[in-house]
Amino acid sequence: MTQLTPFARFLIMLAILGAIFFGGKYILENTGFGKSLLNKSAEQQTTTTDTKAPEEGPANESTATAQGSGSSNSSSSSNSEASGSSSFSYVAPEPINGKLKGVVELGASGFNSFIVRIDKSKNWKLEKAEFGNSLVTENMATDEDIRAGLKQYIGKMLDFGVSGRDIHFVVSSGAVKADVTQKIVKNLKTLNYFVNTVTPEQEGAYGLKCVLPQEFEDESFVADIGSGNTKISWKNGGVSAFETYGAKYFQDGTDDGKVYNEVKTKCAGIPSMKRKTCFIIGGVPFSMAKQVREGKERYTILKAPKDYKLDDAKGKAGVNIYRAIKDATGCDKFIFDWDANFTIGFLLNLP
């Protein structure tokens, strides 16, 4: 046999290797045994990848982000409840072609004046408010001082554009009890102004008319914590209202516990379906809302009574009343309206 050259042996080797390669590939791709081996290898690779992703890949990162976000939201919600931060999104309707009207409240702690624009549908907007003249109700003013103060209030309203016949004076039910009230009424008469007096029930109804949006009538009640008395009211076909202690009860030496118990007992009569939300106004609620107001929002949700530490005696008494209302009703949302006052409700009730 003729001896093969090196080149010939090389070619034969290539042919044998090629046959082995293509033969093996055919077996793996076209026989059951070969397909089984390929599928098993693929499953092992997939299992390894899926196991690794949650431990080190994006899935774990997403979980951490979600947990961080949940923690942040929980903290934000907690802070919102603790701070009384406003989340009440209701927007009162604006008056259309409204008319300016003015009212001066003769309250147990002084004069307050309001100028509002009211349209035919009784939509209203507060244009200007002034709080202040406590000298009159503290028996520290002469008749001339009273007349001068009243003229000042009237003059500012006239300058603002309110007609003289659209300026009204209302004595709050709490102020009626003060000895100085008749002195004020007498001086108003010398200025040719009629003074309107209201009962606690009427005052409660006026406050409700002003502060309670129609959309919330079925689930809410109204609290007006004044200096001389507190008025509670709600819609029940007509208007139901009652009176209890005001924030100056301490001046008579009345015990905090006695006041708390009476307010709580009376508030137990508020229908359960009306306790979801309380719209609240008054001097002490004003002081509480001032601590948590955000910007110039109209509505501020108050904190829980335990979160308020007011230093003055009136403030402490008002918080005691607030706590009794909350404990009696279980209401969790007390919304302070910065623009509302029962005397505006009086204006809305006029023809």
- Confidence (pLDDT) at 147: 84
Note the pLDDT tens digit of each residue in 191-202.
899 999 999 999
Q: Strand ranges (DSSP E) for the chain?
A: 99-107, 110-118, 124-132, 167-171, 195-197, 220-225, 229-236, 238-245, 277-282, 299-301, 333-337
Same-domain status, 192 and 243? no
Closest CA to 343 of 104, 150, 120, 181: 104
Question: What is the percent of the chain with per-residue pLDDT over 90, rounded to a whole number?
Answer: 55
User: What is the residue type of 93?
Assistant: P
Residue 146 resides in a domain: yes
The answer to whether residue 70 sits within a structural domain is: no
- Pair (164, 193) in one structural domain: yes
Are 179 and 209 found together in one domain? no
Q: Give the residue carrying structure tokens 């934000």.
A: 76
Residue type, 269: G
256 plus 339 within the same structural domain: yes
Q: What CATH number does residue 134 fall under?
A: 3.30.420.40
Give the whole-number percent of the chain exceeding pLDDT 70: 72
CA–CA distance, 118 with 94 (Å, rounded to integer): 9
Assess whether 272 and 192 both reside in one domain: no
318 in any annotated domain: yes
pLDDT at position 322 over 90: yes
- Alpha carbon 255 to its chain centroid, in Å, reads 31
pLDDT at 54 > cutoff 80: no
Domain count for the chain, please give it: 2
Q: Which amino acid is at 340?
A: A
Is pLDDT at 31 greater than 70 in this prediction? no
Pair (323, 307) in one structural domain: yes
- 220-225 and 229-236 strand pairing: antiparallel
Task: Please tell me the predicted confidence (pLDDT) of residue 151.
Answer: 84
39-48, 82-91, 334-343: segment of lowest average pLDDT: 39-48
Looking at residues 261-275, what average pLDDT do you find?
98
Same domain for 222 and 340?
yes
Instruction: Tell me, yes or no, whether 245 and 289 share the same domain.
Output: yes
Residue 12 lies in a domain: no
Is there a single domain that holds both residue 188 and residue 206?
Answer: no
Q: Which long-range contacts (CB under 8 A, 24 or more apart) does 183-188 make?
A: 183/143, 183/146, 184/106, 184/136, 184/137, 184/146, 186/143, 187/143, 187/146, 187/147, 187/150, 188/150
Residues 150 and 269 in one domain: no
pLDDT at residue 86, as a whole number: 47
| Confidence band, pLDDT 50/70/90 cuts, at residue 63 | very low
User: Which of 6-10, 20-24, 336-340 has maximum average pLDDT?
Assistant: 336-340
Domain that residue 162 falls in: 99-197
More confident residue, 109 or 102: 102
Residue 168, pLDDT > 60, answer yes
Give the tens place of pLDDT for each residue, 284-317.
999 999 999 989 999 999 999 999 989 999 999 9
Name the phi and psi angles at 85, rounded to 5: -55, 135
